[in-house]
Amino acid sequence: MSTSRILREDDPLLRQVTSIVQFLNPAEVSDLKAALAQFRATHGFGRAIAANQIGLCRRMVAVDLGAGPFLVVNPEITWRSDQCFELWDDCMSVPDRLVRVRRHRSISLRFLDEQLRSRTWERLPPDLSELMQHEIDHLDGVLMTDRAVGPDPVRSISERAALVQPQRPTSRLSLMNIARASQVIDPVFLHSPQFEYEPLAAALGCRLTVKSEISNPIRCFKARGAQFFVAMASEMGGGPKLVCSSAGNFGQALALACRVRRIPLTVYAPCNANPLKLQRMRQLGADVQLVGSDVDSSKAAAHEHARNTGARMVEDGLEPGISEGAGTIGMELLARGDAFDDVVLPIGNGALAAGVGRWIKAAAPATRIIGVCAAGAPAMAESWRRGPDHEQMVEFPGVDTIADGIAIRLPIPQAIRDLHEVLDDVVLVSDDDIIASMKLLHEQLGMLVEPAGAVAIAAIQADPARWANRTVATVLTGGNITVEAFRRLAG
């Protein structure tokens, strides 16, 4: 029997309880993933498949949430929410029908990954909670038809678009676009150094992977999103002129992308912006205008400029392409097959965390995404904490932090909604914490990291108990700081 054939509901093999996996057979894993891919290609749906659905009495599930397949081996539910809900379920072994079932709204899992490393996947969102309960049922010889509840519980698969799709979450950010961005962005900004440095990890008390976005022509990660956005806008016939507001790094990135395509750019920056960043924006061809005391004040001026001139306003955190370009960092973080417990990321306007988190939550959803804001600019954190259904953003009258790159006073609502899809928590760090992390990175790695680029390390250093013995990754997002400025801050 070909193991790529998906068994139908009347096959007795589907009623067998699967056996615990002690070792993985690569051919079986390949067959399972191939069967999932083939069904998805043929039918247009299918997020997971249990091994016994292709006749393998093995306790493993292949899952594909849109960023490629991953394996869940010997899954065990360790927690169930008291709250349950009813929804319409589909199944590869019952491909012609939908069944209304009742599931726990959230569960937590313990499982092994494809390298047989122990993982925990905590408090799954409802759509994934339902999915994994469905697949674990398969492993226990239970079909969704056994779970039918309520009146008229079985419907035709032809009603799937009306009954199933509305139950599934949607995202502004496209996984396909993140993958595409990795082919569009200038290679000089891709595949940035990613490494483990044991002395730094020892100083922080965790297993740490650092990805450095400093060694490129603008010394920060922002070019990924800016280049992908400009490429997409050019394809769609975007306006002949662009305008943005920036404290410096995004302005540099957009200026470089616009110069390559000969697109005029005006950047509105705060009057107290980093002189190094202002100089570099002008060197890259941008018309730089200084307005206001923070980036939100300069943003208002940029919007007015757009209204008066017809230029297209580009907002970091609002445009999906910017976040999708940043999402390529998530692809690269996982490309070596690492299994991270936590990925810790700075939050300014939210594009980095939203893009990276979007990819990681689809490719390795057991990994927790933790955002970090400056305590002196907590608007993003406070708005996120209000919950996904709260439309009113938290606005502060001013900001007070050395981390100018993440000093947001008024969040973008769409960015907060993007972050609600991926973030597990947000923490705040003080300027003293940030300075301590900058000094640590200089001592351990010999790197001059700007304040906003060091806040993730600051969060780890400030609360070592939280990260103790965990496998953590973070991104050093920028190094646009002079030696003199570093010395002033670091003493």
d(CA 458, CA 456): 5
Please say whether the structural domain 12-167 has been given the CATH code 3.90.45.10: yes
- The average pLDDT across 48-68 equals 97
CATH of region 175-220+322-490: 3.40.50.1100
**Average pLDDT over the chain, rounded to whole?**
95
**Token pair recorded at residue 377:** 């600019």
The 10s digit of each residue's pLDDT in 109-133 is: 999 999 999 999 999 999 999 999 9
Cα–Cα nearest to 178, from 333, 380, 44 = 333
Looking at residue 114, what DSSP letter applies? T
The 3-state DSSP class for residue 430 equals coil
pLDDT of 205 reads 96
> What does the alpha-carbon distance between residue 218 and residue 436 come to, in Å, rounded to a whole number?
24
Cite the active site residues. Answer: 135
- Which residues on adjacent β-strands are paired with residue 293? none
- More confident call, 247 vs 352: 352
H or E element that contains 362: helix 351-363
Residue 238 pLDDT class (50, 70, 90 cuts): low
Q: Where are the domains of the chain?
A: 12-167, 175-220+322-490, 222-320
Do domains 12-167 and 175-220+322-490 share one topology? The answer is: no
Helices 275-283 and 249-261: angle between axes, nearest 10 degrees = 0
- On the 0-12 / 13-18 / 19+ scale of CB atoms within 10 A, 366 is buried
Lowest mean pLDDT among 3-12, 102-111, 288-297, 367-376: 3-12
| Residue 491 predicted with pLDDT over 90 | no
Report yes or no on whether pTM surpasses 0.85: yes
Burial 23-41 (b: 16+ CB within 10 A, else e): ebeeebbebbbebbbebbe
Query: H-helix or E-strand containing 342?
Result: strand 342-346
- What are the tens digits of pLDDT across the range 373-397? 999 999 999 999 998 877 789 999 9
Predicted pLDDT at 388: 83
Instruction: Name the residue with higher pLDDT: 167 or 455.
Output: 455
Phi, psi at residue 120, to the nearest 5°?
-125, 140
Q: How far is CA 361 from the centre of its chain?
A: 6
In the DSSP assignment, the letter for residue 393 is P
Please compute the mean of the pLDDT values over residues 295-318 and round it to a whole number: 94
**Terminal alpha carbon distance of the chain:** 71
Distance in angstroms (rounded) separating the CA atoms of residues 355 and 346: 12
pLDDT above 90 for 297: no
Q: Give me the pLDDT at residue 194, please.
A: 98
**pLDDT the model gives residue 284:** 96
CA distance 444 to 204: 11
CATH architecture under which domain 222-320 falls: 3-Layer(aba) Sandwich (3.40)
**pLDDT bucket at 79, cuts 50 / 70 / 90:** very high
Whether 1 has a pLDDT exceeding 50, the answer reads no
Kindly tell me if the per-residue pLDDT of 296 is higher than 90.
Answer: no
